[in-house]
Amino acid sequence: MNNLVITGVNSGVGYAAAEFFSKKYNVFGISRNDNNLGSLYRSPNFKFIKANISNPKDVSAAFSQIENIYCLINCAAIFESTPFIKQRVDLIEQIIDTNLKGTIFVTRAALEKMDGGRIINISSVSGKHGIKNQAAYSASKHGITGFMDSLNQELVEKGIQVTNLCPGGIKTPLWGPNNPYKGDLSRLLTPEDIVRILNFIIDSPSRIVFKELTVFPDSEIH
């Protein structure tokens, strides 16, 4: 049974992905805490590893527990929608540290345990163009777009396929009173929608490269 590593497993897409893929793979779920993991602990194929991905030492310790990685799915992210001039500096640091630096640290650690397979990053349409009141978040996701584009060129000859998945609004705890969604809430993507796409990518022949995929609700215009 192949080994998958998924970050951000305590909510949203990360949780849904861990729940689904633990039925067919060994899943190592990485998150700052194990809050809300619920049924995941009942799966014999799921192992939780506590780590702050913005801390290189935490990341190194986490990946010392994992070998022979087939697929890495980067889901961990921090989001806030607010005018940039009003955004706290410490939160800006957290967004960049987790979304950009954390993804880079995790990917580098995973590559040391990979011989072929796939790396899939859950980015955002904010990583393709700027969106009002999402300056720091968009900056972090644009950085990941450049990182994944470069990495794809490095790794394709080594048999490792890199995908940057850029969804629009997803119905997750990210959306709330402090982060209002401008579109039709009833038409939001769901974490399960994203998991179906992930499953299609992972199950596809290795000769097929999904460099970048953009998906958003029909109520959004980009």
Least confident piece of the model among 117-121, 191-195, 207-211, 216-220: 216-220
Whether the CB-CB separation of 8 and 174 falls below 8 Å is answered with: no
- C-alpha separations of 209 from 160, 172, 193 in Å: 9, 28, 20
Determine the longest span between alpha carbons in the chain, in angstroms.
49
Predicted pLDDT of residue 17:
97
Q: Which two tokens stand for residue 148?
A: 């994944």
CA distance 28 to 133: 34
Whole-structure pTM value: 0.94
pLDDT the model gives residue 200 = 97
Backbone angles phi, psi at 90, to 5 degrees: -65, -30
Residue type, 38: G
**Of 15, 25, 70, 137, which one is the catalytic site residue?**
137
| DSSP code of residue 213 | E
Q: What is the pLDDT of residues 145-164, one digit of tens each?
A: 999 999 999 998 899 999 99
Q: In the annotation, is 25 catalytic?
A: no
Using DSSP, state whether 70 is helix, strand or coil: strand
Cα–Cα distances (Å) from 90 to 38, 42, 54, in that order, read 31, 36, 14
Residue 98 CA to residue 105 CA, distance in Å, equals: 10
Quote the CA–CA distance of 140 and 188 in Å, as a whole number: 22
For the stretch 157-187, pLDDT in tens is 899 999 999 998 888 766 666 656 666 778 8
**CATH code of the domain occupying 3-215:** 3.40.50.720
